[in-house]
Structure 1
Amino acid sequence: MTSLFQILMLILDVVWFILIAHIIMSWLINFQVLNVRQPLVGQIWYGLNRLLEPLYGPIRRALPAMGGLDLAPLVVLVGIYALRIVLVNNAAAFY
């Protein structure tokens, strides 16, 4: 069962870093540091959007319109962190 706990924590860490990369890349695109028309940047951006849209979609539908401000990534980050806390506090169940 220890390995199950470690696999779950690894998956949460990978999703966490993908989210952080998506957030930083969106800032760089909005501040025109990166250009989506470049092939590599466009492919990475499209891939990250396709990976994360299943997480963002239901949250975007539940949140009220914020006038162009997207809080879905923040909600997902807080949710992942809360899930990590729950898993760590209940780690004894995995041993």
Structure 2
Amino acid sequence: MITNFIATVINVIYYVFVIALLVRMILSFVGPYKYEQVWRVVRDLTEPVLAPVRRILPPMGGLDFSPMIVLLVAGFLRGILLSLL
């Protein structure tokens, strides 16, 4: 019972973060200033995780690969955490 609750919490945190990353990627293409309030919330949720990755892998040719790296690592960590339950 408690393991189901923990698994649900892990999944909710993971999916909220994934949605925030996807919204950030979309807004970076359409212009974040049109949706400034949404941009601030999404940036505040994702920047603490993206900044360290960006220091290791800076944007190349105008493309920022850090969201994709973070998505891969987050999915991997989610899988490990759920398998430990």
* 8 Å contact from structure 2 (residues 49, 70) kept in 1: yes
Secondary structure of residue in 2 paired with 1:45: helix
Deviations 1:37-77 (A, max 9, x none): 3xxx2101111101211000000001144111111111111
- Between 21-30 and 61-70, the greater mean CA deviation after superposition: 21-30
2:78 aligns with: 84
Q: Does 1:52 align with 2:46?
A: yes
**Alignment partner of 1:66 out of 60, 65, 77:** 60
Structure with greater contact order relative to length (CA < 8 Å, sep ≥ 6): 1
| Alignment RMSD (CA, Å) | 2.6
**Alignment partner of 2:33 out of 36, 39, 63:** 36
Q: Which amino acid aligns with 2:75?
A: Y
> Going by fraction, where is helix more abundant, 1 or 2?
2
Alignment TM-score, normalising by the size of structure 1 = 0.66
Distance 1:25 1:59 in 2: 16
Number of aligned residues: 85
1:6 aligns with: 5
Q: Percent identity?
A: 31
